[in-house]
Structure 1
């Protein structure tokens, strides 16, 4: 069953209301907010590479409020343990049994702040919950709430005392982007509201958490023509054969690009995917999955420029994409 034009129109209207609600808190960042909600409604996770003080925590909190959900923030530090994230079993003397106490991952939106400052062992504690939406402690599986999304941040400038995220974990983030500093007009609006602290700004619930799950299910029903599958396959193949790349995009990356393109199409009021949906998301979906050759990095080449070149060199389909 595919999405109908009427459903696509309703989806786009709800999506725009969600973006508009969060934009009241994160001023002038409509594009980043749209990417964040694209990740949420694609049932994926978001990696923000940004300097401190750009509104990452505000974004996570406002998104959770807009979907009437819960949010938790974890500050990653070198002494953070896996149990501090997932939770642990604690012995209850009164009952004579171990009782599970859930960690901060048991929320709808989880902000993992400066994720690269924790040890690889602690970073890996997020792998199961990001992929399987569950946590296993002492052989017992505990599912997390739906919807569920991890927004992880890392500072791309300061690398002293950090642990680079392994490729297997980077691959589990659907999108990577940055918020960046606001423009001049937005900065003035922020300064005019300087007497209000960020945590005092609340976004009224726009949809319920169960409605978010339903919207995600609708996004999966967006029609994708076989020529779009071929286009994405050729794009991914091109990242693998690029001379600057040591390791190209994975199959998980190709799947993520198709799924995110469905959500992007629905957010634009279409019940079918067109090549522009793929182009719009190719860089945030694929760039962080590429590992460049050392010589290319020394020459100043970055993964984003490689994806941009691949898009230029790979011809999009010309056939009509919808039926």
Structure 2
């Protein structure tokens, strides 16, 4: 599958990426035991300049994963606990009259951080959820007719509980599409569960120290965009998207924006594996977290109990994988 032309990313850059990636994930896994896939995908999301939705039942470590990732990088961290009474100004910030200066003074909200944890995003009102849209898409916020740019890197990590519906507001499709990936953590296996008990058996909490800087993260983000993607592989991604739109079990298929995101995360996946070029397995490996929350199943498929992950597997099975760079 590898193209014989020189890839854009040098092997040395790919190796630096891999080493830093492993250093960060190893640090996070000191707290999040036995969940290397979820940890790796979360870091890829940051390195692809995207936002992450962690959806799972209570008590499996959603908040701990977000906090551990932020603690592993030397950047500002903000947290917002969404409740029905949270206002947009609590998220963005508010202008307060300064009597001494005789002027309004803007006091930034939690969004003015590099990694922002939004706990239980579906508990806030649609108006407050909408306050995130501009920040997530444009990397800026507008208050009092003044636009303020957010810093770099910037990632929103939102959590939600999929089984609790009372007092929640389901995320609209426009909001879901702002999230580059949706991941689930799941219950730990027996060995990981024992490790968690051992980890928290003492009286003192474990504190993670940063193992990477903001500049390293920005450099890794640039490296992702330079990973080689062969023309045949791009045609493969487009063919998968086209097949999803013609699938009877899917009422809303893969959009062009989603194909761009799929390619970018596949590039990060290749680098994490130590390669400076993408192969079809990279695309398939990240397809469910990138695409699963963007497609919509037909009513008949939902009645039959089909899941988005299963629907995507069916789509990929109908598209021939490229055997050469082409």
The corresponding residue for 1:207 is 212
The corresponding residue for 2:295 is 290
Shift of 1:45: 0.8
Instruction: Please give the per-residue CA displacement for 1:131-165, whole angstroms capped at 9, x wherever unaligned.
Output: 11111111112122211111111111111221111
- Of 218, 226, 235 in structure 2, the residue corresponding to residue 221 of structure 1 is 226
Structure 2's unaligned 5+ residue stretches are 1-6
Give the distance between the partners of 2:203 and 2:234, measured in 1 at CA: 46
Give the distance between the partners of 1:67 and 1:225, measured in 2 at CA: 32
Q: Does 1:85 align with 2:82?
A: no
The corresponding residue for 1:18 is 24
Shift of 1:195: 3.6
The corresponding residue for 2:3 is none
Tell me how many residue pairs correspond in the alignment: 320
- Of 272, 275, 281 in structure 1, the residue corresponding to residue 280 of structure 2 is 275
- Of 255, 258, 276 in structure 1, the residue corresponding to residue 260 of structure 2 is 255
Shift of 1:97: 1.1
- Of 131, 134, 137 in structure 2, the residue corresponding to residue 125 of structure 1 is 131
Q: Does 1:185 align with 2:182?
A: no
- 2:63–2:159 Cα contact (<8 Å) kept: no
Over the aligned positions, Cα root-mean-square deviation in angstroms equals 1.5
SS state of the match for residue 141, structure 1? Answer: strand
Shift of 1:40: 0.5
Q: Does 1:240 align with 2:245?
A: yes
Structure 1's unaligned 5+ residue stretches are none
The corresponding residue for 1:38 is 44
- Of 79, 86, 96 in structure 1, the residue corresponding to residue 102 of structure 2 is 96
The corresponding residue for 1:56 is 62
The corresponding residue for 1:194 is 200
The within-5 A match list for 1:120-199 is 120-196=126-202
Which contiguous aligned blocks of 4+ residues in structure 1 show a shift greater than 4 angstroms? none
- 1:60–1:71 Cα contact (<8 Å) kept: no
Give the distance between the partners of 1:287 and 1:193, measured in 2 at CA: 33
Give the distance between the partners of 2:288 and 2:66, measured in 1 at CA: 22
The corresponding residue for 2:118 is 112
SS state of the match for residue 289, structure 1? Answer: coil
- 2:297–2:308 Cα contact (<8 Å) kept: yes
Shift of 1:209: 0.9
Q: Structure 1 length as normaliser, TM-score?
A: 0.95
Shift of 1:70: 2.2
The corresponding residue for 1:29 is 35
Shift of 1:29: 0.7
Give the distance between the partners of 1:225 and 1:125, measured in 2 at CA: 39
SS state of the match for residue 14, structure 1? Answer: helix
Instruction: Please give the per-residue CA displacement for 1:230-274, whole angstroms capped at 9, x wherever unaligned.
Output: 111111112211111121122111110011111111111111111
- Of 235, 244, 266 in structure 1, the residue corresponding to residue 271 of structure 2 is 266
The corresponding residue for 1:308 is 313
Q: Structure 2 length as normaliser, TM-score?
A: 0.95
Shift of 1:197: 6.9
Give the distance between the partners of 1:90 and 1:239, measured in 2 at CA: 50
- 1:146–1:210 Cα contact (<8 Å) kept: no
SS state of the match for residue 269, structure 1? Answer: coil
- 1:89–1:98 Cα contact (<8 Å) kept: yes
- Pair 50,96 (structure 1): closer, same or farther in 2 beyond 3 Å: same
